[in-house]
Amino acid sequence: MTDKISERIPSAERREQILEAASRVFGERGYFGATTDQIAKAAGISQPYVVRMFGGKENLFVGVLTRSLDRLLVAFTETIAQWKADGSPAATDPGYPIGKNPKHGEIGRRLGLAYVNLIEDRGLLLSLMQAFSMGQDPSIGAKARGGFLTIYRLLREEAGFDPEEARGFLAEGMLLNTLLGLRLTDDYGKDDAATELIECTFRTKLQLVLEVQGDEGERA
């Protein structure tokens, strides 16, 4: 896409186009391995156009982080709202316990499924993991810490988790991100330990995860 054509696209749409591409590139290459030129090519826009809109790689990464956190919070908020609308039902599957409260086991299961569904937005979860490893950066670190605590507060105040339940849920989410970052799915069906851990972690969403990571491997 040329800049002349892209100028005809509404600004919000152009911004989302760039952020979506940047999310994939940052997720695959990390903050330090990615360049604005790679992101521009992935978005089909010239590198000067990207810099003109975002002002540089750090601002662009903060934009990706903001987009990722917003989508995660929307997914969690909608999931909690639907759970409450359903009467806050208790867990029906003992395979998804969160703490000792069966009610929280059910909302934990629903939130876990909502989290895994975000893998379809390629790069979103991996770009979050990149951000969470950059606590030393004054700008990115502050934004990442604030977003992480916002998620924690949502689990405590809206989902009703106690501190230990919230900790367990967040820990499982970080495990999920680690498995995606390692591309452990490449060893699925080849290594017994990898297969067992992957099946235990992704459960009913395993096929989705295998398809998405398989597509990413082909593109790489």
Instruction: Write the pLDDT tens digit of every residue in 53-71.
Output: 999 999 999 999 999 999 9
Min mean pLDDT across 31-40, 84-93, 160-169, 204-213 is at 84-93
Q: Count how many residues are written for the chain.
A: 220
Angstrom CA distances, 78 to 84, 121, 220, stand at 10, 17, 34
Q: Token digits for 92?
A: 């029906």
Judge whether 73 and 151 are in contact, CB under 8 Å.
yes
Q: Looking at the predicted structure, is the pLDDT value of residue 107 above 90?
A: yes
Is the CB of residue 98 less than 8 Å from the CB of residue 105? yes
Mean per-residue pLDDT for 37-44? 96
70: amino acid identity, one letter: D
DSSP string, 115-182: HHHGGGSTTHHHHHHHHHT-TTSHHHHHHHHHHHHHHHHHHHHTS---HHHHHHHHHHHHHHHHHHHH
Q: Measure Cα distances from 6 to 14, 23, 49, 56 in Å.
A: 7, 19, 9, 19
Place of tokens 């919000």: 12
In this predicted structure, what is the pLDDT of residue 97? 46
pTM of the shown model = 0.86
